[in-house]
Amino acid sequence: MIGKLNHVAVAVPDLEAAAATYRETLGAKVSKPQALPDHGVTIVFVDLGNTRVELLEPLGEASPIAKFLANNPAGGMHHVCYEVSDIRAACDRLKEKGARVLGAGEPAIGAHGKPVLFLHPKDFCGTLIELEQT
């Protein structure tokens, strides 16, 4: 069911510093910052050719990554995103298998304008998983 790795998301306390580390120390291609107020994050993409890393910094009071950063002040890997061709079918299958879909339990429009859902880390080896319909 799952396809390619779309991105790995890393939560960071300081996006400018994190972008500089990837650009200057790791020699990576890093995009300009993009504020996504509806999703409570500012992001940059690190383009790796085969996939990308997204660096996420909290934006606003109710940022979904605020608690994660409180527990991981230096930052850390937040989620992995796998591609699926049919998010509705994926959602139904996962629920049938007993997996917990976070939030309202239904696909929603994600940070990239495409349908996504998030799965409970306790059901998936301690990793928060995002599925994105591509």
- Pick 24 or 75: Cβ nearer Co ion: 75
Piece of the chain touching Co ion by CB under 5 A; list 3-11, 32-40, 68-76, 88-96: 3-11
Q: Which of 41, 63, 130, 131 binds Co ion (CB under 5 A)?
A: 130
Q: Report in angstroms how near the CB of residue 109 gets to Co ion at its nearest.
A: 13
Q: Which of residues 5-34 bind Co ion (CB under 5 A)?
A: 9
Please list, in sequence order, all residues whose beta carbon lies within 8 angstroms of the beta carbon of residue 75, skipping any fewer than 6 positions away: 10, 11, 12, 13, 18, 69
Hey, which residues are catalytic here?
130
CA separation, residue 120 to residues 32, 88, 126, 128 (Å): 30, 17, 8, 6
The distance of closest approach from Cβ of residue 12 to Co ion in the complex, given in angstroms and rounded to an integer, is 14
Pairing of strands 34-36, 5-11: unpaired
Q: Which of 43, 46, 81, 119 binds Co ion (CB under 5 A)?
A: 81
For residue 81, report the phi and psi dihedrals to the nearest 5 degrees: -120, 120
> At its nearest, how many Å lie between Co ion and the CB of residue 56?
8
Rounded to the nearest 5 degrees, what angle is found at the Cα of 67, between the Cα atoms of 84 and 16?
80
Q: Which residue lies nearer to Co ion by CB, 81 or 90? A: 81
User: Which positions touch Co ion (CB under 5 A)?
Assistant: 9, 81, 130
